[in-house]
Structure 1
Amino acid sequence: MTDIIVLGAGYAGLATATNLAGRTRKTPGVRITLINASSRFTERLRLHSTAAGHATADFDIAGLAATAGLTFLPGWVTAVDADARTVRVDDERTLHFDTLVWALGSTADTSDVPGAAEHAYTLDSLADAQSLAARLSDLRTGTVLVCGTGLTGVETAAEIAESHPHLTVHLRGRDEPGATLTPKARSCLRAALTRLRVRVETGADIVEVLPDDADVIVWTAGTRVSPLAAAAGLAVDERGRIVTDPVLRSTSHPHVYAVGDAAAVRQRYGVLHGTCQGGMPTGVHAALSIARELDGREPRPFRFGYYHTPISLGRRDAIVQFTHPDDSPRRGYLTGRAAVRYKETVSASPWPTFARMVRHPGSASWWPRGGRFTR
């Protein structure tokens, strides 16, 4: 029996598990175990919308796993020994693996700024978003401070401002919102925030978060990965991400694959940044690579190019910046309702895709949610 364990059931982890299940369903002696802290799949792309009070779909990982022929194990991964090839779950169970796929993702980094962990909400999970939504619904007046002017911060500020017009929303961070967009697209983004009465404050780092900074504080300034990878003995970069070779295997432990936010995947233009756009293709490629190894063939290098940067600005507005493969902006972009329709199409729930990959794993060669990759 060949035991393959996938740690994490986010976008990248489920892409790996379902695609690999489809590729190995006729291969005897292969057992795939999927481990995740929750039995529910979280659409992190929509958590800012959940936080503003909009409904969230319910996706059951256990049901999908049963359909795919996977063994699903709910629980927290507490330790990994890359040399001994073991995974410890809930400090109670120890599982052995022949091949491991690391897809534990990332969380909001509240560790470096005093007060951020104590006084700010994050959008790491459905429970986090629902807790924020409950707090916002209780406010009849007041201020909301969104810390971080990256894309998550922009989307969160816009969503809250649109859904709660009686609240004053501030967006604070070092860089101008939409700093990676073309000047014209960035101007449209700023105009949308102005229309929503979001007060933008830029030009300085956030060095401390105090409870009286606002009635509600939301932290979206940066992410971090679990320290488990370094503790497991895997080679990691300065951010704790697993350093991978061209086929997405750990450079120190080739029987470990790393995908999604937890992996430092280098392409000719640099290291992939953590988004669903790149995360799901890494998962599919890891599945393909493992299937090739099981067949006695060498895996192929992973090659990926970005295609666009979609940004929601509430439910009725959006901006889509088209990009070169290295994520630098092209001249073309969409705004308004055309951008909303486009973003809703490319950011649609991946759940049907996961189910489809079990039946047709070879169909995933281009991702409508953004990335283009070649196998």
Structure 2
Amino acid sequence: MKKNQRILIYRLGSIGDTIVALPCFHLIRKTFPASDRYVLTNLPFHQKASPVQDILKGTGLIQGWFDYPLKTRNPIDLLELRSKIVSWKPDVLIYLAAPRSRLSIIRDYLFFKTCGIRNIIGLPASDDLRNHRFDIESRLYEHEATRLARCLSSIGDAGLNERNSWDLQFTAEEEKKAVDSISVLGDCSYFFACCSGTKMPVKDWGQKNWEELICRLSERYADLGIAFIGSDDEKQRCDVLKNIWKGPAVNLCGKLSPRESAVVLRRSVMFLGHDSGPMHLASAVHTPCVAIFSARNKPAVWFPFGYPVRHRVIYHHVDCSGCNLEECTENGKKCINSITVNEVLENIELLKNRLLLF
């Protein structure tokens, strides 16, 4: 590979989208170590959404970024974006977009070509690369991290099963702030990490379920601590859960950055939560997860990476699975609402015993 190239990496999304692409970002740095690497991404589309750069800054995986509003269609805005890209003069585009239609991919290809980029890597030209493979035996779909790695196979192996491929490279300051934040747990050697919030209403298991789960779990493990993480607007609901817990507890909602939260997650014995950014952070730092999923997505595409060996996922198939809705107004969230507290407790016990966690 030529040295001193300018590499533009196209990746949209928030925490989860960034984490599942983390091995690809490591592969790109390994392949283009002496090059300037910038990411082209979207501006946050939700108050709870953290941009790509909030996860990758300080890692050395990228040196900078360009961002733009999601679903930009205005010709003037597109010309402005094109002007930014042309001015930077990228030599290579790494295409790490989520699955999309063939027409959308052609549109993207033509746009980047008009930006003067000659070499485009990772463009999923075939249906096989555009879609998640389905395993007939397990009835599960391919993980998004695996599909992305296949798209970049021409430049090397992303090493999905290697710990270093998921390294977030925390700074000493991030480590210290995270450790200080959980000092209120005292001498508690083991603690759960919990995130009961989510950006999408369809993914929310419900406060009453969480209250019952925390109450019953606390009765079993009163000697363990618990740390609640999430955005600032989740603080009130987590204060209720914190007050239910019988042992040491701390509510960190809104107090830590996503990366600092990941340090807390790494120190916890187990993560409990929805399909969410914090769940993906937990899996990236190799913390076992018990995750509660709606059926809006195909099974396994967005499960914590390492499932089923290191994680347990509760996902109920229903006739409307794969709806991709953000809010369910017709079927009463029958997928996630059919998950019981007993099921979650059983999965916590199964994971604890399998991995000998505490």
Superposition TM-score tier, normalisation by shorter sequence = 0.3 to 0.5
Superposition TM-score, scaled by structure 1 size: 0.32
Greater fraction of residues in helix: 2
Greater fraction of residues in strand: 1
